[in-house]
Amino acid sequence: MGLPCTGKTTAARRIEIEQEALRLTKDEWVKALYGPENPPSAGDVIEGRLIQIGLRALELGTNVVIDFGLWDRNERSALRQAAADLGVAVQMRYFELTLTEQRRRRDRRQAAAPHTTWPMSDRDLAEWADRFDIPTPGELDGSEPVDNPPAGFTTWDGWRRHRWPSTVC
């Protein structure tokens, strides 16, 4: 988990090889399907589909790397619970950088490979940082129990299906 340009995909590519894992990178799918566009509702559906694929792969005994930001604690709790329901272990990794380094990486990426990313302003980076739920040490190492689902949901599975819809509306 982490904000843009913090190294998530670079690490996911390494983990994919080291742990013989299926890597599910949302941005690659959004780029392949929508090119220069990044429609929020489509991104949510793509995340949901990738999560479904990841859960099925886990059922089949394949390691999985979920490579998206997972900025919200509820998203992380829903995925932790889904993994627990399947009896599989979770390794969470948090990627953080100083804003200066994040901007440097953004600028380098946009100059070297603009087709792999979307424009991100300094204001965007600051707004996203304000919205990010920093994980606790217990969330990261798995010692902290998964929270109860948010109000209005009796299960994390129900919340997960609501958060990541199966179709674009």
pLDDT tens for each residue of 138-162:
999 999 999 999 999 999 999 999 9
- Mean pLDDT over 106-116 rounds to 90
Cβ proximity of 51 and 164 under 8 Å:
yes
- Mean pLDDT over 4-20 rounds to 96
The reported pLDDT for the residue numbered 114 is 84
Task: State how far the Cα of 136 lies from the Cα of 78, in Å rounded to an integer.
Answer: 16
The reported pLDDT for the residue numbered 168 is 73
Q: Which tops the pLDDT comparison, 165 or 136?
A: 136
Q: Is the pLDDT assigned to residue 169 strictly greater than 90? A: no
- Mean pLDDT over 102-124 rounds to 91
Cβ proximity of 93 and 1 under 8 Å:
yes
Task: State how far the Cα of 14 lies from the Cα of 5, in Å rounded to an integer.
Answer: 16
Task: State how far the Cα of 167 lies from the Cα of 93, in Å rounded to an integer.
Answer: 29
